[in-house]
Amino acid sequence: MKPSTSGSKLLQGAFILSAAAIISKLIGTLQKIPLQNLGGDAVFGIYNTVYPLYILLVTVAMLGLPAAVSKFVAEAAVGERQETARRILVRSAVITGLSGLVIGVATYTGASFIAGWVGNSHITAALRTAAWGLLFVPVMSALRGYFQGLHNMVPTAVSQIVEQSVRVVVMITLLLYLSSGNAGAESIAAGAMLGSAGGGAAGLVIMLLYWQRHRSRSVLKKAPAERLEVIHTRRLLSYGIPVMLGALAVPLIGLVDVFTLPRLLSAGANESDAMVQFGVYNRGLPLVQIVTMLATTLSVVFIPALAEANYRGDTKLIEVRCQQSLHWFWLLGLAASVGLAVLAEPINVALYGNAAGTSTMTWIAFTAAGGTVSIISAALLQGLGHVRAPALHLLAAALLKAALNVLLVPQLGITGAAIAGVAAHLFAAALNVLLLRRKAHLRLRPADVLAKPALLVAGLGFAAAAVSWSADAALAAAGLAGGRAASLAQSLLGVSAGCAVFAVGAIALRMLSEDELRGLPGIGPPLAKLMKKLRLFP
């Protein structure tokens, strides 16, 4: 295969995979809204306690082998050693399958013990249904790693979308069925968690179909004298386990809430009320996750661009790209935080039917600011070759979150946990930025970091609040205020006003130039072209 063809195929595959990741993550995030609407806050609380545990168990069960499969299959594909690549897949699929089976059985039989560890017995049934997903997802992930090693991202993309779609369909179907039968919160949450197994099974079927078609086609192309290379289990695990440990660092801050918040809330109430409160606490998280999901997706383009500049030793380009990236992700995260905080009440009513936990949602909104900077700074550090530091910084932030939860939750309830989350995300971001500042020789001026952004987001917040208030007054005069539709209208108008003020204000304050925007890798040139077409640049 010619290098140009290979590079084109890789870029095309990266785009397909990124698009599929956005769609699947968006489906996975937005499904939490009908979950709360149909099941209520108690079901929402149980689900949001168990799902992070399920992701943790799946990550452990995979043992990082999908990444190992991708690497070793890619190496085998270069030498056209198809049988070696297949053996790598089979060995990895067997290991991940057995690992998933063992962890799944242990989770099912030890669900009550895990529930006791968390501090709430109401999650037991949901843990048991979640365990079924461990039978399918690890093997499916190994197959995904195989095709990614061949630079064929389509099977992974299709299976991701199918997995999430089936998961949501199964979840909502069981929610409707169990809710109509007046089932308890524990049973409804268990039914919702069964969607993970349904989605995993569907995703595995898709991957097996792709594997069968790939196998039938590649048999015809098999080389007559292929040199077999034995990839030992120890070699696979030695590569995969560090990847797994790195992946475990990402959800650490969220897992702190799972292991501390239900127990802390139960100290002042019964377990059922604690789950209701935990459900209310999680209302604001899907919106913040959409912001951080977009940040994660966009951050991927900076790693290869910065790695290339680092390889060439172009310190000036490294400094410019790091400076611009931090500057804009900080602005976008801060703008999203202020917008969500100002519009917390109408958004809460529009999405969840009432204003419960609005003050908590207001605080949670500000995790978007620290979260986006943490994500982009971690990506920039990885591009410079500092892979472990961001994981260690997340571990330190998780420890801070745990300490603040213990300190604040008994006094302030779920609002205390939200404040602790803001502090933890900002702490992780600050540690990353301080290291990046030293490694990339950044010059962070107070006017650029604090003064101008504060002025810009103040205008954004004022515009969003003013438009939202005006819409509320107009709807009240028409006798239409107070409902979910009216709150949705307030929210959309407020968001539109805030976005307009942000775009105009950024240019008026000379925080954005056309050259700066064009300098951003990947997304910059088309965005600059659009803004120039709209005549937003002077």
Containing 455, the helix (H) or strand (E) segment is helix 452-477
pLDDT at 101: 96
The runs of H, that is alpha helices, within 181-284 are 185-218, 233-249, 252-266, 271-281
pLDDT at 358: 94
Q: How confident is the model at residue 207 (pLDDT cuts 50, 70, 90)?
A: very high
Q: What is the DSSP string of 372-402?
A: HHHHHHHHHHHHTT--HHHHHHHHHHHHHHH
Over residues 399-430, the pLDDT tens digits come to 999 999 999 999 999 999 999 999 999 999 99
Neighbours of 127 (CB within 10 A): 26
What percent of the chain has a predicted confidence (pLDDT) above 90?
A: 36
Question: Distance between CA 219 and CA 221 in Å, rounded?
Answer: 5
Over residues 52-62, the pLDDT tens digits come to 999 999 999 99
pLDDT of 220 above 90:
no
Q: How confident is the model at residue 302 (pLDDT cuts 50, 70, 90)?
A: low
Structure tokens at 220: 């015809």
Over residues 133-154, the pLDDT tens digits come to 999 999 999 999 888 888 788 8
pLDDT at 413: 92
For the ranges 66-70, 79-83, 103-107, 385-389, the lowest mean pLDDT is seen at: 79-83
* Structural contact between residues 323 and 263, judged by C-beta atoms closer than 8 angstroms: no
Question: Distance between CA 150 and CA 152 in Å, rounded?
Answer: 5
- The pLDDT of 250-261, averaged and rounded, is 88
Which residues, including other chains, have CB under 8 Å from residue 275's CB and lie 6 or more apart?
A: 41, 42, 45, 46, 49, 120, 122, 123, 185, 262
Q: How confident is the model at residue 7 (pLDDT cuts 50, 70, 90)?
A: very low
Over residues 71-89, the pLDDT tens digits come to 888 777 655 567 778 888 8
pLDDT at 223: 47
- The pLDDT of 337-361, averaged and rounded, is 91
pLDDT at 87: 85
Mean residue pLDDT across the chain: 82
pLDDT of 444 above 80:
no
pLDDT at 230: 55
Closest CA to 417 of 525, 283, 237: 283
Name, of 313-317, 405-409, 520-524, the range with top average pLDDT: 405-409
Question: Distance between CA 395 and CA 432 in Å, rounded?
Answer: 12
HEC string for 159-176: HHHHHHHHHHHHHHHHHH
- The pLDDT of 325-348, averaged and rounded, is 88
Number of helical (H) and strand (E) elements in the chain, helices listed first? 26, 0
Question: Distance between CA 298 and CA 294 in Å, rounded?
Answer: 6
Question: Distance between CA 514 and CA 405 in Å, rounded?
Answer: 44
* Structural contact between residues 326 and 376, judged by C-beta atoms closer than 8 angstroms: yes
Question: Distance between CA 179 and CA 187 in Å, rounded?
Answer: 9
Residue with structure tokens 């003013």?
A: 466
314 vs 439, higher pLDDT: 439
Q: How confident is the model at residue 30 (pLDDT cuts 50, 70, 90)?
A: confident
Neighbours of 109 (CB within 10 A): 11
Question: Distance between CA 192 and CA 46 in Å, rounded?
Answer: 10
- The pLDDT of 90-116, averaged and rounded, is 94
pLDDT of 32 above 80:
yes
